[in-house]
Amino acid sequence: MTPSTSASRTAATDLPDADHAHAPRPHLWLREGLTGLELAHTALSRRFLAGLPSGDGHPVLVLPGFLAGASSTNVLRAFLRTKGYRVFDWGQGRNMGVRPGLRGRLAERLDHVTDRTGEPMSIVGWSAGGIYAREIARDNPDRVRSVITMGTPMRGNLRATSAWPAYTLLNRGRNAVDLTPEVLGSRAAPLSMPTTCIYSRYDGIVAWELCTSLPAPTTENVEVRSTHLGFGHHRATLAVVADRLAQPVGAWQPYRG
């Protein structure tokens, strides 16, 4: 069966209960095996991809998910280059979760890119990479133009992910501060700049409810039918990303699909 290419926006009134979410069921874990089919479908969709909107060439920083590195975002970054953007990897190697000084190094990366290009950037974060994307943007609102997250757990029961055991094992002793009520409340707060939160009910790694944001004037939740491992190359996701990045500054409109 060919993966769906459609995407839809979720109204704020339909916001799901993330506090009582559960980790994805086993049948969704198995569905993650379709990510290769999703990649193949995208590779065969050149005409569709070529018809997606191009942008104004502003810089875009791309952050990978937990346990992933630059190679995981190759398709996404290559696609964005074809749309005219100046694209940058996060420059931190493999994402191993909480590490001393990482937030500061990412802020330095943001400074480097914006100083080099002379204009605010957009940030695209996949899964746990989206957590860093949001917090960097929150700390630097004058340097960030927009934020897009893909399958990023940002609120609710953050243990409702299949990756939680591996995360706690690799970040033993480092993640306690990240789970205090104060930090969790701050992390869930919407951003001041345009923000698009892409989620999928077919996500086999992160409970989809966690990936939806609380409402705000320029914040939206957009649903696609992707696996978690396919967010970075599923053609529906690429369509949403292209549409959102192509919006002129100060002219934000909700995604219409």
Residue 2 has a pLDDT of 40
Q: State the distance between the two ends of the chain, measured CA to CA, in whole angstroms.
A: 22
Amino acid letter, 124: V
Residues 6+ apart with CB under 8 A from 215: 12, 15, 190
Structure tokens at 164: 């939680």
Regions of the chain short of the pLDDT cut 50: 1-4, 175-177
Q: How far is CA 94 from CA 80, 91, 115, 190, 198, in A?
A: 21, 9, 25, 27, 22
Residue 165 has a pLDDT of 66
Angle between helix 235-245 and 35-43 (nearest 10): 60
Residues 6+ apart with CB under 8 A from 165: none
- CB–CB of 69/94 below 8 Å? yes
- CB–CB of 155/77 below 8 Å? no
Amino acid letter, 15: L
Residue 162 has a pLDDT of 79
Residue 8 has a pLDDT of 72
User: Which domains does the chain show, CATH number per domain?
Assistant: 7-245 (3.40.50.1820)
Residue 177 has a pLDDT of 46
* Beta carbons within 10 angstroms of residue 19's beta carbon: 11
